[in-house]
Chain A
Amino acid sequence: MAAVTAPTLPGVAGEEPTRLHVSDYLRWSVDHKIIGVQYMATALFFFIFGGALAMLIRWELLTPAIDLMADGQAYNSLFSIHGTVMIFLWIIPMIAGLGNYLVPLMLGAKDMAFPWLNAFAFWLIPPAGMLMILGYFVGQTEAGWTSYPPLSTLFSGDGQTLWALSLHLLGISSILGSINFIVTIRNMRPAGMGYFQMPLFVWAVLATSIIVVMATPFLAGALTLLILDRVAGTAFFNPAQGGDVLLWQNVFWFYSHPAVYIMVLPAFGVISELLAVHSRKPVFGYRAIALSSMAIALVGFTVWAHHMFTSLTPELRIPFMITSMIIAVPTGIKVFSWLGTIWGGKIHFTSAMLFALSFLSMFVIGGISGVMLGSVPWDIHVHDTYFVVSHLHFVLFGGSVLAIYGGIYHWFPKITGRMLDERLGKIHFWITYPAFFLTFFPMHLAGMLGMPRRVAQYAPEFQTLNVIISIAAFVLGISTFILLYNIVWSLYHGEKASANPWRALTLEWATSSPPPSTNFIGDPVPFPNPYGYGTEAAYNYVESQNKKYGTVNPADYLPAEKSTAVTSE
């Protein structure tokens, strides 16, 4: 890109570029952008930790016997902490970080509604994470991330108690963060932006936050009872003393099923942004996508017991099957709307778009296996088997994580002022995509054929499948480091990013990259339709932004005559 002349950032006279030192991110700060980055960096750390545990799991499963781990209990701790860390310390904080960074920008606001509370919610996470890791090393956290009693109350080891305390903190952090999102979205939209002019990512964060504030208190309740049973001698889950083991399952899943939507709805939001921007076409059926998030949030509260199809009173299983099947409809609407968005567009194969497309192609498998699992008789056969492990990874890795990857490539320029390296991005994609599929797809088969989940030893006939899965998993694990390397390298050596490298219409691009500490100079005026691509008005809007802030175009957005790629004021 020799021809590119770097613009002066942020490009508006009188404003000094916001150059932040690493130490600014290690301190208490109430700036939502710093908090957002703090969330994301913390989450990435735990992603590596949880991923390392996953590698150990796959190492153990190379052979049918227990060999790597000292005993079954050590293996049980491994996957219990892997699951908990990935859900509560990677995906949820990562999405909270993205939301924190983007929601005020997308709304043209200076900050979140409660900056102090925002920082407080973040700073609950590092100690909670430390407790969780401590719990792992103390041991006896062997009941899975679902921690069903009586197994989770059987032993007095401190690991399980630390686990519960850690989740308590994370739950509170999550609730405080979501209150902040709801208030920000409701009260701080700029003039001219009604609910139906909001970017779909904001809609998704709103729906997610509603789920968090309504459901997470149930987790708090369940954990309180679990801790009391463990340390105070109560017997809520002990049937010998009038307690009930299904009580935990009901209360826990009342939170934890919606938690799936907490993890995946923001990913849907990310995908709606990415697909529209990189295929240069308005989102197809904006209202349908926005409202289906709300429908999913609502119906999501009525499906929890499909996790209990083998334990629930048989008569109650059918109603939950019906609600679980219904929730496929709004999800289907989203998938078809996304297909409608890319159809007929002008697809730019940026790394962000590749990950968004891979999300679309992989998430649908999770959706299909989800409908299968909703069917009671079939679920009974594959319940608690590798089929379920496969399904949940297609939803949470194929869904949330691939979307997060896409989001990182898309918003990294905004956050850091530098582009991620596209060539490395494509290498990352072409290793991740097949490795992901080969890791998780064969798990369906293992489960159907009779391999239960959460076992360190298995019948010898499943070894071939497991070896394939493990090898693919190791490749998948390694591919993550390409992303990390790219992030670190680009932070210092990446190409300078302009305010709006993707020529997008949402407000976060209507300011310099990275934005100044007040986010915007003056009050930003939102483009009436956040996805109004293909109109002259939209073209002129982007051009006027570029005029104001300067442009540096990423390779894929270069005009044909590359030598005159850039204009600056």
Chain B
Amino acid sequence: MAQNVAEQGLSRDELIALRNKRTGMTVFQISWIMVFVCLIVVNWQLRSNSPTWPPAGVEPLPWALPTIVTILLVVSGWLVHNALQAINANQLGRFFGQWRAALVLGAAFVAVIAFEWITIPTTGQYSTVFRVMTAYHAVHAVAIGLYMWYVDGRVRAERVTARDTWAVEAGMKLWYFVIAAWIMFYLVLYVL
């Protein structure tokens, strides 16, 4: 994130705190993405034990709907990015529009994945590993979505202002995390 105009008005301690938060967020993202990498490793090892994947007699996952919501999810990333720029520029109307649109897309994504989760067969490693991966991801998507909802409220209550938009920036970065993790999962589950 480039420094915005408002940040230049921050005190030294506030600047250090902001810098710490940004570094902390980056380290956290690098760390926590490893859980998702771990699940991918699990997927690969189970795969390597089966002569074909999906195993013989198991229907491959339907891919059309998930692909559409994956694209929507990427769009939501662009929206949160715009929302942060909007609030930094003190354009609250634009912020709410973009931020809430992203939330709606996120909700749609979770709903579609939940639908897939319910409709696939309940037994067999192919389904189980899919369920664990998507459920694990969905927990993060929902938790971070709720946080973004909370940030929305904070902005409405004018607790987050253009002077300190860290709450929004954090929401955006966490949402990026959700998107990045999902793209990895999407590639592993549907493409590779």
User: Do A and B touch (CB < 8 Å)?
Assistant: yes
**Which of A188, A217, A241, A247 sits near B35, CB closer than 8 Å?**
A217
CB distance from B167 to the nearest CB of A (A): 15
- Residue B156 lies at the interface, judged by CB distance under 8 Å to chain A: no
Could you say which of A69-77, A218-226, A483-491 contacts chain B? A218-226
B49 near A242 (CB under 8 angstroms)? yes
Could you say which of A96-104, A122-130, A175-183, A275-283 contacts chain B? A175-183
B132 near A242 (CB under 8 angstroms)? no
- Residue A384 lies at the interface, judged by CB distance under 8 Å to chain B: no
A179 near B41 (CB under 8 angstroms)? no
B14-38 interface code vs A (CB 8 A; 1 in, 0 out): 0010011001100110111111011
A113 near B34 (CB under 8 angstroms)? no
12 A-B residue pairs with Cβ-Cβ distance under 8 Å, sorted by A, are: A113-B20, A175-B31, A183-B20, A187-B16, A213-B31, A217-B31, A217-B35, A225-B42, A244-B46, A246-B45, A247-B42, A251-B38
Considering the complex, give the chain B residue whose CB is closest to the CB of A212: B31
Contact residues in B for A183 (Cβ distance below 8 Å): 20, 23-24, 27
B128 near A236 (CB under 8 angstroms)? yes
A243 near B46 (CB under 8 angstroms)? yes
B45 near A182 (CB under 8 angstroms)? no
- Residue B124 lies at the interface, judged by CB distance under 8 Å to chain A: yes
**Which of A214, A222, A241 sits near B125, CB closer than 8 Å?**
A241
User: Count the B residues whose beta carbon is within 8 Å of the partner chain — how many?
Assistant: 29
- Residue B63 lies at the interface, judged by CB distance under 8 Å to chain A: no
CB distance from B133 to the nearest CB of A (A): 11
Contact residues in B for A247 (Cβ distance below 8 Å): 42, 45-46
B16 near A188 (CB under 8 angstroms)? yes
B35-54 interface code vs A (CB 8 A; 1 in, 0 out): 10111011001100110000
Please measure, in the bound complex, the distance between the C-alpha atom of A37 and the C-alpha atom of B125, giving whole angstroms: 47
Q: Contact residues of B with A, CB < 8 Å?
A: 16, 19-20, 23-24, 27-28, 30-35, 37-39, 41-42, 45-46, 49-50, 55, 124-125, 128-129, 132, 136
Contact residues in A for B19 (Cβ distance below 8 Å): 187
B23 near A187 (CB under 8 angstroms)? yes
Please measure, in the bound complex, the distance between the C-alpha atom of A215 and the C-alpha atom of B37, giving whole angstroms: 11
Considering the complex, give the chain A residue whose CB is closest to the CB of B30: A213
Q: Can you add 9 more A-B contacts, CB < 8 Å, to A215-B34, A251-B41?
A: A179-B24, A179-B27, A183-B20, A187-B23, A217-B32, A221-B38, A228-B132, A242-B46, A244-B49
B31 near A214 (CB under 8 angstroms)? yes
Give 10 nearest A-B pairs by CB, closest first: A221-B38, A217-B34, A213-B31, A242-B125, A113-B20, A217-B35, A183-B23, A183-B24, A218-B38, A179-B27
CB distance from B17 to the nearest CB of A (A): 8
**Which of B28, B35, B125 sits near A179, CB closer than 8 Å?**
B28
Considering the complex, give the chain B residue whose CB is closest to the CB of A242: B125
- Residue A114 lies at the interface, judged by CB distance under 8 Å to chain B: yes
Please measure, in the bound complex, the distance between the C-alpha atom of A246 and the C-alpha atom of B48, giving whole angstroms: 12
CB distance from A186 to the nearest CB of B (A): 6
- Residue A234 lies at the interface, judged by CB distance under 8 Å to chain B: yes
Please measure, in the bound complex, the distance between the C-alpha atom of A539 and the C-alpha atom of B153, giving whole angstroms: 59
- Residue A235 lies at the interface, judged by CB distance under 8 Å to chain B: yes
A465-477 interface code vs B (CB 8 A; 1 in, 0 out): 0000000000000
- Residue A197 lies at the interface, judged by CB distance under 8 Å to chain B: no
A224 near B136 (CB under 8 angstroms)? yes
